[in-house]
Structure 1
Amino acid sequence: MTAPIIRRKDDLQALTRAWRRAGDVIGVVPTMGALHQGHLSLVRAAKAGADRVIVTIFVNPKQFNDPKDLENYPRTEEDDARKLAPFAVDAIYVPDPDQIYPDGFVTTVSLGGVASVLEGAARPGHFDGVATVVTKLFTQTMADRAWFGEKDYQQLQVVTRLSADLDLGTEVVGCPTIREEDGLALSSRNLLLSDRARIKAPALNAAMERARGRIEAGEEVAQVLDEASLEVERAGFNAVEYLVLRAAGTLAPMDRLTGPARLLAAAQLAGVRLIDTIAVTPPD
């Protein structure tokens, strides 16, 4: 059964108010469309954790630094709706742009801390765009819970901090990264990879997995990360923007493995920017 596609917030809130009166737990899975199995795993988790599930599809211009990247971002609404049909979600919210950013809109939600490093430093204003649109989506959907993937690990931390700091009342739930059989993290951007680039793409995760093993075995973090970055570039990537070890949660830099941590990376491959993350666990 294909869920109704709703484009106006008043129409959406007519539903959500009725659900609230009935005592239903409302869940939301925010996306920018071009849905893949990673997104669908979030929908599956939401169906198990909420009475009513809304999937949002909105390509948010405020989180793109490069106009060409925004222009090229895949838009596949009809295909997305077909992929969602087996899950029987209660609504697909595809807001018209003026429902998110009406004429005269001048407000920006901005975070420091976890939003100021890595992606925040590499893409100025990116997390302001994320925080602003997520605040709008949480309030418009009246969601009790929201599901986000761990692949965008920094985004997950930003959204968690945002909801807590602003008392938005939405519990943020993180879900494991879904990967192809060769280790490549699923991403809508993978659709932009040429056949040749797609063959090279798994090298990023492979290098990170080897780095994790070495760090967990006690090798020097700085040397391991330098060698892993070089390995990725030798595999055919144009550049490694960062490949770092950070404390889980706070994203504070770590030069020694002293607690739960994350390897996080961003790298350019044939004009496509890929990110990935994996957990690093200290020895008992």
Structure 2
Amino acid sequence: MDALSHLHPRHGEDDVDRYRSNPPLSVIASEAPDVDLGWFKGLKKEKVDIGFESYSPNFYYKNRRVTVIFTADLNKLRELMPAQVLEKLQPLQVWPGRGLVALTAYAYDYCDNDSYNEIGLSVITNRPGSSSFGPLTLMSQAMSNNFWGYVLKLPVNTELARVRGVVGYNLPKWLTGINYRETDKSVVVEIFDSETGKVDVTMETRKLANLSSKVSMVTNSFTNVDQQGQLTTGYATSRQLSHASSTSAEAVSLSLTEGSLSTFIKSLNLGKMVKYEYVPEFQSALYSPKPL
């Protein structure tokens, strides 16, 4: 019995391939006729054993996200990263004593493993084996749209996403309530405390007007430690169909409470907001981790 065996597919037993990340694109086309699947037709899936039988990459057909990048206490970020990870990569130092974290809210409206919401809190790092030149490295990553990070927190709001992430991708996921809603002018994300059920973190971001519809390809890679204590790395390639960014602090409001995630975020001693990204439409392919 594998890690996913107790999770029953929503669409009946014959559709279990959805839960192994291998539904036929013809099924997706019939269920979501408004989604352009052209990009996915050019990507090849391979069978993988990631603690359960699955296929890589995992396809995300229709999604939204908002990302806010803050400065944070560099020494604290180093403390939170395992020693063996730090041997290969370091948090980027943007000025003395300050590193960077990215806080992202995702709404996966339609993907191989159903739909779910997710919150990512990651340390921005250099690429494993490369030197870190702080701001220059960040500029290089930004220019190439190829970012590296170490994931600190990754709550999700479905059990399927939690099990797949923890067992298959070695990611720090837990199950909790996450609301991702939109008003006329903003995106409002509420993250609930899994222990108390109360609102823990609230992030409200402005819907930016200067949207670009020029397709932008972005790669986000992560390095972490698997269940056997080995260093692994995985990545996601995103095809951004609608996107905009801002450096105005007025575009973002982050409200913290006494909840567990808020307390953790406070410990990072967040400072200046460096960048806000508003991406109301993107597609993505998530590749399973491999030994580093």
TM-score, normalised to structure 1's length?
A: 0.25
**Structure ranking higher in helix proportion:** 1
**Structure ranking higher in strand proportion:** 2
Give the structure, 1 or 2, with the largest relative contact order (CA under 8 Å, sep 6 or more). 2
